[in-house]
Chain A
Amino acid sequence: MRFGISYRLHFRYSEAVFESQNEVRARPRDDDYQRVLSYTLISRPEVAVLSVLDYWGTTVQHLGIRAPHVELELVAQATVETKPHPQPGRAPALAALSDEKYRSDHFEFLVPSAHVLWQQGDLVEQRAIAAAAKADSVEELVSAVVAEVRSTLVYRQDCTDIGVTLLELIAGGEGVCQDFAHLALGMLRSVGVPCRYVSGYLFAANEADSGFVAATVQEDLVSVQTHAWIEVAVPGWGWWALDPTNGVEVGEHHVVIGYGRDYADVPPVRGVFAGSAVASVDAEVVISRQSTQNQQ
């Protein structure tokens, strides 16, 4: 499928700020399942943008505005073509998770990270172990843990902040897409399954509604937020992408920006400014489905 994506961030400051410095991660990546046909980042005030690949292979764009300003508008515009993901190969036996080289290769995705913290014996691990008890294969184990996350959390827009802990999520019983992803990562890692956080865009009526879109949506334009999901390293096969918020495998409606251990490795925007102003931000992602019939 081909999508036109426009991700707009509009910062407003209560008084003039200056020496603002920002990092943006909004460009979709090129990989086996998606191809970026065009991408631009527009900044008002207009400044030079430096684009580089970070450690994770995500495009990061640095930009700074030294002169005083009362607003900053960033618009990332991309055209992306996606393909469906294949099904994971024959489900490997659980013993494959213990392979030493496999664990060393994926070590960063097996251990706690800034937003994916758990401890031996805590509720995160207990629930994961209980959910995984009946699984006979890696695929079954992952599906069981994701189902456990979905029975633990109810989706509610804007219900949490990024600093929330996994135990707070379990106690609160609700979350947004980052929370579904982080809790799934914590549970999977606690039972020895390497997995990573994915930041991206989802073509759906809202971020918890991909099933609806895939089945019946007739509209060709949606207005949403950035989305988050996970990828699991399946031994002998590769990365298996799942969307815990929606309970579906990731497909051609998902557009990847990048991945990391958790949100902190791939935040859409991060910045500082000088001045004592109060900042507010409007963020919006508009995705339009485009025809590809004449583009053979």
Chain B
Amino acid sequence: MQQRVNSPNGLNSEMFDGYDASRTFDEAFESSGMARGTYQRIIERFAGLDAVEHQRLESLVADEFRRQGITFTVYSEDAGTERIWPMDLFPRLVAAAEWDELARGLSQRVAALNCFLADFYGGECEAIADGIVPRWLVVSSSGFERNAVGISVPHRAHCNIAGIDVVRGADGCYRVLEDNLRNPSGISYVVENRAALAKVCTWLFDDHAVQPTEQYGQMLRSTLESMAPSGRDSPHIVLLTPGIYNSAYFEHAFLARAMGVELVEGRDLVVDDHTVYSRTIEGLVRVDVIYRRIDDDFLDPVSFRPDSALGVPGLLGALRAGSVTVCNALGNGVVDDKGVYPYVPELIRYYLNAEPIIDNVPTFMMWDADQRAEALGRLNELVAKPVGASGGSGVLIGPHASQQELHAARTAIEAEPREWIVQELVQLSTLPAFVDDRFEARHLDLRPFVLTGEKTEVFPGGLTRVAMQRGSMIVNSSQGGGSKDTWVLAREAL
């Protein structure tokens, strides 16, 4: 039975007419149709608009993004691959206490993953010796970078910038869906979403004290500074990009500007005597920290892919000499591997002697015969994911799959069980998103960012992505997803 929201809190508005908060956990409305306390005032604000006014504000935001060149790239299409970044005006609100708990859980998870990376690449491999993670599974990961073994990493902080994708299911609980410890992108959109919303809809912020986002550049910069090799005061930082054809180039340029550091390509750097230098108009300048946004394989054509024109020849030698730090460290892909994901709760218990604050989504390991049999028996209710997939590609959602697709997935899993995990389907939580002339419930996720150097900080909020198609759970912008500004509320509301 559907329950409808007609006039939230007695406001007579057509904006929320027919809003269906009953499909799963709706973050703004209870299933009865009552507004949740956190969202009461923001709903009133939007209820006070009409569709025409809302559309006008949306187009102002789009103009703002267009003027700033805030776009994203869709690789698969032939033409018009640059798109204006899509943002829905209705923000996501996270109450202070709720955020504190979530942030503690994120810090905990990233701390455990950093412990594992340091343990593994440092050569001790205690978690493997103690049977927490099987050795064969780790060494068979495509993200395992043998050249990372033996490189010393300041503060043992292998992951300096993590993007942890979390979702809320029908029970409203946060769960981690995916860890991104290589080159997580999206933070620039978090900052730009806020800037655009604050400019176009300043009045929206009247009733709330929202934690700011414009400080990200400074936070990132101080994190990176703390990663400089010891003895390098006032370290020289560069951001290494693959160049303008990369889908995240906008973000690379944005972050370099926000931090006040050089944006460089591989050819702008040169290694001499196992030390990295930047070529500048004032001659060579020694580089201490490289925030790299290129993949491991492309970093150094001497030791990795010889055909890479993006990297810096000799960089691995400089890393082994300890004269420079690369952030994130090499080889973090081993924990982005979804084959390692099911072991993360155990890694938290092992390294931190604590219970995980945020759970995983229940996951079946396909390389375990019993779990495989159980999962394949009810694959039509579950979600199958390739362990190396990102951006939602190759994911099979059981309830939406045809018989042929289910059969093909079973065959693929039986053939290469190490390459797959299967998870319970999470009915992602919903929020109002403006569709045509009113708000409808749309599914969403959240990518918060965790910065780790000498200390760990969780950036307030994160990137909320929203599936704009009715019923869709695919939130990726490359597949038609939108975004929302994410407000972490300060303790004392106004």
From known contacts A50-B320, A104-B136, infer whether A21 and B147 are also in contact, taking CB-CB under 8 Å: no
Q: Which of A51-59, A134-142, A174-182, A196-204 contacts B (4 or more CB under 8 A)?
A: A51-59
Is B146's CB under 8 angstroms from A50's CB? no
Is B150's CB under 8 angstroms from A54's CB? yes
Is A271's CB under 8 angstroms from B136's CB? no
From known contacts A54-B147, A64-B272, A66-B270, infer whether A23 and B303 are also in contact, taking CB-CB under 8 Å: yes
Is A272's CB under 8 angstroms from B301's CB? yes
Residues of B within 8 A of A48 (CB): 273-274
B140 at interface, CB cutoff 8 A: yes
Residues of B within 8 A of A220 (CB): none
A103 at interface, CB cutoff 8 A: yes
Is B302's CB under 8 angstroms from A111's CB? no
Is B146's CB under 8 angstroms from A54's CB? yes
How many A-B Cβ pairs are below 8 Å?
68
Within 8 A of B (CB), among A7-63: 19, 21-23, 47-48, 50, 52-56, 62-63
CA distance A52 to B147 in the complex (A): 11
Is B135's CB under 8 angstroms from A64's CB? no
Residues of A within 8 A of B306 (CB): 270, 272
Residues of B within 8 A of A272 (CB): 301-302, 306, 313
Is B314's CB under 8 angstroms from A21's CB? yes
Residues of A within 8 A of B401 (CB): none
Is A104's CB under 8 angstroms from B135's CB? yes
B149 at interface, CB cutoff 8 A: yes
Is B303's CB under 8 angstroms from A270's CB? yes
Is B321's CB under 8 angstroms from A107's CB? no
Name which residue of chain B comes closest to A19, CB basis. B270
Residues of A within 8 A of B146 (CB): 54-56, 265
Residues of A within 8 A of B147 (CB): 54-55
Is B273's CB under 8 angstroms from A47's CB? yes
Is A111's CB under 8 angstroms from B313's CB? no
Is A54's CB under 8 angstroms from B317's CB? no
Residues of B within 8 A of A122 (CB): none
CA distance A107 to B133 in the complex (A): 14
B139 at interface, CB cutoff 8 A: yes
From known contacts A55-B147, A55-B150, A272-B313, infer whether A50 and B140 are also in contact, taking CB-CB under 8 Å: no
Selected from B136, B150, B273, the residue in CB contact (under 8 A) with A64 is: B273
Is B320's CB under 8 angstroms from A271's CB? no
Is B272's CB under 8 angstroms from A66's CB? yes
Is A107's CB under 8 angstroms from B136's CB? yes
Name which residue of chain A comes closest to B151, CB basis. A52
CA distance A265 to B149 in the complex (A): 14
- Which among A54, A56, A62, A66 has the highest number of chain B CB atoms within 10 Å? A62
A158 at interface, CB cutoff 8 A: no
Min distance, Cβ B9 to any Cβ of chain A, angstroms: 60
CA distance A111 to B306 in the complex (A): 23
- Which among B272, B303, B317 has the highest number of chain A CB atoms within 10 Å? B317
Within 8 A of A (CB), among B58-113: none
From known contacts A50-B274, A64-B273, infer whether A22 and B302 are also in contact, taking CB-CB under 8 Å: yes
Per-residue CB contact flags for chain A residues 261-284 toward chain B (1 = under 8 Å, else 0) read 000010000111000000000000
Selected from B274, B302, B321, the residue in CB contact (under 8 A) with A271 is: B302
Is B302's CB under 8 angstroms from A270's CB? yes
From known contacts A22-B302, A52-B150, A53-B150, infer whether A62 and B316 are also in contact, taking CB-CB under 8 Å: yes
Residues of A within 8 A of B317 (CB): 21, 23, 50, 62-64
Residues of B within 8 A of A47 (CB): 273
Is B134's CB under 8 angstroms from A21's CB? no
Selected from A21, A52, A63, A107, the residue in CB contact (under 8 A) with B320 is: A52
Per-residue CB contact flags for chain A residues 73-108 toward chain B (1 = under 8 Å, else 0) read 000000000000000000000000000000111011
Min distance, Cβ A121 to any Cβ of chain B, angstroms: 13
Residues of A within 8 A of B274 (CB): 48, 50, 62, 64
CA distance A141 to B247 in the complex (A): 52
From known contacts A55-B147, A111-B140, A272-B301, infer whether A21 and B313 are also in contact, taking CB-CB under 8 Å: yes
B259 at interface, CB cutoff 8 A: no
Name which residue of chain B comes closest to A66, CB basis. B272
Min distance, Cβ A182 to any Cβ of chain B, angstroms: 19
CA distance A54 to B321 in the complex (A): 13
Residues of B within 8 A of A56 (CB): 146
Name which residue of chain B comes closest to A103, CB basis. B136
Per-residue CB contact flags for chain A residues 226-257 toward chain B (1 = under 8 Å, else 0) read 00000000000000000000000000000000
Residues of A within 8 A of B316 (CB): 23, 62
B271 at interface, CB cutoff 8 A: yes
CA distance A245 to B273 in the complex (A): 40
CA distance A270 to B302 in the complex (A): 6
Residues of B within 8 A of A271 (CB): 302
Residues of B within 8 A of A52 (CB): 150, 320
From known contacts A23-B302, A271-B302, infer whether A108 and B272 are also in contact, taking CB-CB under 8 Å: no
- Which among A21, A47, A55 has the highest number of chain B CB atoms within 10 Å? A21
CA distance A52 to B317 in the complex (A): 9
Residues of B within 8 A of A19 (CB): 270, 313
- Which among B140, B150, B271, B314 has the highest number of chain A CB atoms within 10 Å? B314
CA distance A265 to B303 in the complex (A): 10
CA distance A107 to B140 in the complex (A): 8
CA distance A22 to B300 in the complex (A): 11
Per-residue CB contact flags for chain B residues 314-341 toward chain A (1 = under 8 Å, else 0) read 1011001100000000000000000000
CA distance A53 to B151 in the complex (A): 10
Residues of A within 8 A of B270 (CB): 19, 66
CA distance A62 to B302 in the complex (A): 10
Is A64's CB under 8 angstroms from B271's CB? yes
Residues of B within 8 A of A111 (CB): 140
- Which among B134, B149, B274 has the highest number of chain A CB atoms within 10 Å? B274
Is B136's CB under 8 angstroms from A62's CB? no
Is B273's CB under 8 angstroms from A62's CB? no
Residues of A within 8 A of B302 (CB): 21-23, 270-272
Min distance, Cβ B390 to any Cβ of chain A, angstroms: 23
Min distance, Cβ B220 to any Cβ of chain A, angstroms: 30
CA distance A104 to B139 in the complex (A): 9
Name which residue of chain A comes closest to B270, CB basis. A19
Residues of B within 8 A of A63 (CB): 317
Selected A-B contacts with CB under 8 Å, 21 pairs: A23-B302, A23-B303, A47-B273, A50-B320, A53-B150, A55-B147, A55-B149, A62-B274, A62-B314, A62-B321, A63-B317, A64-B272, A64-B274, A66-B272, A104-B134, A105-B135, A107-B136, A107-B139, A270-B303, A270-B306, A272-B301
Known: A21-B317, A64-B272, A272-B306. 12 other contacts (CB 8 A): A19-B270, A19-B313, A21-B271, A47-B273, A50-B274, A52-B150, A53-B150, A54-B149, A55-B149, A62-B317, A271-B302, A272-B301
